[in-house]
Structure 1
Amino acid sequence: MPELENFCPNCGQENKDQKVPVGVFIEELLTSLFSFDGRFLQTLTAFFFKPGKLTQSFNEGQRKKYTHPIRLYLVFSLFYFFMMGFLIPKDFFDRILNAGQPTNMATYQEIIDKESGEPVPVDSAAIKKALRKVDEIQSENFSNVSPANRGTNTPNHSWKALRFLSIDPEISAEEFGRALDSSSYAFDIGLPVQKKRDLVAHSNLFLIQVAKNLPLMMLFLLPVFAFFIHLLYANRSVFYIENLILGFHLHAFAYAIYGIVILLTFFGGIQSSWLILGAFVLVTTYAYLSFLKIYRHHWFKTLIKFWILGGLYLAVLLSGMAAELYLSLLLL
């Protein structure tokens, strides 16, 4: 049969031209990573409705029946961070800090929006025109950024005023520093005034940078999470890698639930505060039930260890987040 000549007699690899186009390469990569076959669907059933089942099956050697935990983690972490990057607006940082402040200055807002993207040369004429507009409107919140008062110690500078001062080339670093210190947004973490100015001027870029670094930070923290579990269950005959597998599954579940919350918030019109609270309760309960199933301790003993683990991991998570924010700020 001549068609057998198209395959290698040793490994079964198809003999074909290996110079594939980029599209074919990406297709094969995605097919390998996200093989949504019957096994994956079977995995999802156990993943969402049977806490601890996947970890227990993997540790017992049943590794062909379900999707590999690392692949599952990658799928849902990519889903979560894609939802964050795609659905959360680029000016999310400004929207929070500008909440409750008047938005009746189109020229002013246009310049701020322009600076929310990649840094571009500042139009001095447009800035002066906006300053005159500020002075004409005499808004209570923006009167402190009139030409006569820019950079002074006038208190209660709004976030928009600080943003405007930060991109004005006529305002020196010292003047901006005094304006920042007199506002309710003053902060002191050992950074020079110019770096603080960069943060205010490009705060949305800072948020984007943080979002880009967050997946890598979480991946580095996973082994720490598994190490804490290993310490708490040191008297059990459990290998460290088994605790790490549990960490992959629990984090994947958290990513899946919080990613769905983001979708429902932006497309379902559901109040986000209740969704976030419900998601937190669901993820926490899922993790606790997983511990009960895998380690088989009494429910109260498991609860105590679960609280200890949560406190330790929260401390590490907050420390890692602070370090990640600081490094992102230095790289801004």
Structure 2
Amino acid sequence: MSHGKIREDKTCLNCGHQVEERFCPHCGQQNIESRHPFYYLFTHFFEDFTHYDGQFWGTMKNLLFKPGRLTQVYLEGKRQQFVPPVKLYIFISFVTFLFISFQITDLNFGKERTRQAKEINKEIQKEAVKNKAVNEALQSPEVLKADSLSGGMLTRALDSSQVKSTAQDDVDVENIFKENKSITKSLGLQSMEDFDKRNQKNAHKYQTFRPFVAKIFELEEKGHSPSEITNMFIKSSVHNLPKALFIYLPLFAFLLWIFHSKKKWWYFDHGVFTLHYFSFLLLLTLLLFVLNKVFSYFGETSSFAIIMKGLLTTGATVYAGCYFFVAHYKTYRTHPALTILVGAVLFFINTVLFTFLLMGLGIVSFLLMH
């Protein structure tokens, strides 16, 4: 609840009715001062969402640990206890994908290669400093005199050592940066005309891949390497995933509507269940990303981090599947055997459909890269 200062004027700014206490009895608006500090824009949002009265935190607790509870209470008409389904889904979706987008901002599959190259460049610079010091030392009269007495052997030995060291460093750098910088060339393609000739020669059986090859040529012409193209694809897919999920929500609810009594359950009821279940999945995903981020500080390649990430991912996957069956049973109150059967069929169908959705998302994301 907002703690803004109550106005001395008892006339509601919104509808003009008299306000005896904090809230207008006609429109419900608070009769508080309308001008606030700048930070109020942000604090008001969180106050309005969390209510500071336990509604938000109670919703999170029930969403995570009590499958079907939120849907059951909402459909019973008790709608002031918890955050409304649509508002809940939008908020969790926003926070989840915002966090994920921050995690992939610096995504770079060439990090290790770049790190090694930087280390070698540092060694080269150190060697160059040493060589410079040696060359300066050779110019001193004492060294020149000693070198002349030895017939120039000292100078030749030092020069040979410098050349060998520099040449070895050049080879190392070349090996580190030695990679196939062109996807199309690795496929033996020089241009789209080359692809079209091969396609025509093979009775156009590669026609389906033409838009993808054209996109790769387009990106390579702009100077993008394979690792950069991969990074762009992942970022584009994550950016489009919220839209794909939002499109899939009605389909998920429609499948529930097909498998349940039309007289007892309306499509609206299935929509509420869908919003709560997808909110749970997004919240679980958010927690999984946060915990993985925490364990990454122990070292990306450490045994502890790898084991913990594997256990968390496996545990979250199993929990998400069990959660669906429990929530389905508590919401629809069908016979346990029927719940397992219908739930298994729904789970299988949605898994297949969602897989196709992700494939479609990948195709669209790739073709929209620029």
TM-score (norm 1): 0.69
- Determine if contact 2:49/2:56 at 8 Å carries over to the other structure: no
In the alignment, what sits opposite 2:67?
Answer: 51
In the alignment, what sits opposite 1:42?
Answer: 58
After superposition, where does 1:1-332 map in structure 2 within 5 Å? 3-5=8-10, 7-8=12-13, 9-10=16-17, 12=24, 13=29, 14=31, 24-88=40-104, 90-91=106-107, 104-106=116-118, 136-137=171-172, 145=178, 161-162=179-180, 165-166=181-182, 177-180=184-187, 189-197=209-217, 198=219, 200=226, 201-234=228-261, 237-268=264-295, 270=305, 271-332=308-369
The code of the aligned residue for 2:59 comes to T
Which whole-Å CA distance do the structure 2 matches of 1:222 and 1:291 have between them? 16
Q: What does the per-residue CA deviation read over 1:252-271, in whole Å, with 9 as the maximum and x for residues that have no partner?
A: 11111221111111113543
Which whole-Å CA distance do the structure 2 matches of 1:89 and 1:33 have between them? 28
Which whole-Å CA distance do the structure 1 matches of 2:270 and 2:233 have between them? 34
Which whole-Å CA distance do the structure 2 matches of 1:225 and 1:53 have between them? 19
In the alignment, what sits opposite 1:119?
Answer: none
Which whole-Å CA distance do the structure 1 matches of 2:52 and 2:246 have between them? 23
In the alignment, what sits opposite 1:148?
Answer: none
Give RMSD over aligned pairs. 3.5
Which whole-Å CA distance do the structure 2 matches of 1:135 and 1:236 have between them? 77
What displacement does 1:61 show? 0.8
The code of the aligned residue for 2:215 comes to K
Q: What does the per-residue CA deviation read over 1:221-268, in whole Å, with 9 as the maximum and x for residues that have no partner?
A: 111111111111145610011111111111111111221111111113
Q: What does the per-residue CA deviation read over 1:273-313, in whole Å, with 9 as the maximum and x for residues that have no partner?
A: 22111001111111111111111122222111111111211
The code of the aligned residue for 2:118 comes to A
The code of the aligned residue for 1:241 comes to F
- Determine if contact 1:7/1:15 at 8 Å carries over to the other structure: no
The code of the aligned residue for 1:54 comes to L
Which whole-Å CA distance do the structure 2 matches of 1:248 and 1:108 have between them? 53
Which whole-Å CA distance do the structure 1 matches of 2:38 and 2:100 have between them? 27
Which whole-Å CA distance do the structure 2 matches of 1:134 and 1:180 have between them? 31
Alignment CA distance shift 1:236-1:103 (3 Å)? farther
What displacement does 1:179 show? 1.6
Greater shift in the superposed pair: 2-11 or 35-44: 2-11
Which whole-Å CA distance do the structure 2 matches of 1:321 and 1:244 have between them? 21
- Structure 1 runs not aligned, ≥5 long: 110-131, 146-160, 167-175
What displacement does 1:214 show? 0.8
SS in 2 for 1:37: coil
SS in 2 for 1:105: helix
- Determine if contact 1:79/1:255 at 8 Å carries over to the other structure: no
The code of the aligned residue for 2:172 comes to I
Higher alpha-carbon Rg: 2
Greater shift in the superposed pair: 60-69 or 227-236: 227-236
| Aligned residue pairs, count | 272
Which whole-Å CA distance do the structure 1 matches of 2:243 and 2:269 have between them? 22
Greater shift in the superposed pair: 228-237 or 205-214: 228-237
What displacement does 1:141 show? 8.0
Q: What does the per-residue CA deviation read over 1:35-92, in whole Å, with 9 as the maximum and x for residues that have no partner?
A: 4532222223322232111101111111112111112222322232233122346325
- Determine if contact 1:73/1:248 at 8 Å carries over to the other structure: yes
Which whole-Å CA distance do the structure 2 matches of 1:251 and 1:133 have between them? 56
- Structure 2 runs not aligned, ≥5 long: 1-6, 122-166, 190-205, 299-304
